[in-house]
Amino acid sequence: MVKITYIEHGGKEHVVDVAEGLTVMEGARDNNIPGIDADCGGACACSTCHVYVHPDWAGKLPAKDGMEEDMLDFAYEPDPARSRLTCQVKVTADLDGLVVNMPEKQI
């Protein structure tokens, strides 16, 4: 299991264990983390699982593909360096300790 910290916009932290092979979005969904809506169910067809990756982690994640880049254009206040769609980030042992912050809202 990999520890991931999800931080709500208001600052409330949720530290949960997520199984390797799932996505960061599935980890939030399976642990009832508020702030990640995931309306498309992980198909990279919306931006409602948008988060800001903690600066310490921004350069450690796999690169975004073109589809994720396109969908981030629809996210609320995307940050070119830190915004990710959690449905596109697979959980691996390398992500143990990952910290993500939720935006004020999902659109």
Q: Is residue 52 part of a domain?
A: yes
Q: Is residue 106 part of a domain?
A: no
CATH code for the domain in which residue 37 is found: 3.10.20.30
pLDDT of the residue at 98 = 98
Q: What is the pTM of this model?
A: 0.96
Q: What is the pLDDT of residues 36-71, one digit of tens each?
A: 999 999 999 999 999 999 999 999 999 999 999 999
Residues above pLDDT 70, as percent of the chain = 100
Q: Is residue 107 part of a domain?
A: no
Which one-letter amino acid corresponds to residue 30? D
Q: Is residue 70 part of a domain?
A: yes
pLDDT of the residue at 57 = 97
pLDDT level of residue 22 (50, 70, 90 thresholds): very high
Give the number of domains in the chain: 1
Rounded mean pLDDT of 77-101? 98
Instruction: Collect all residues with Cβ–Cβ distance below 8 Å to 72 and sequence separation of at least 6.
Output: 47, 50, 64, 78, 83, 84, 85
Q: Is residue 86 part of a domain?
A: yes
Q: Is residue 32 part of a domain?
A: yes
* Domain that includes residue 13, residue range: 2-101
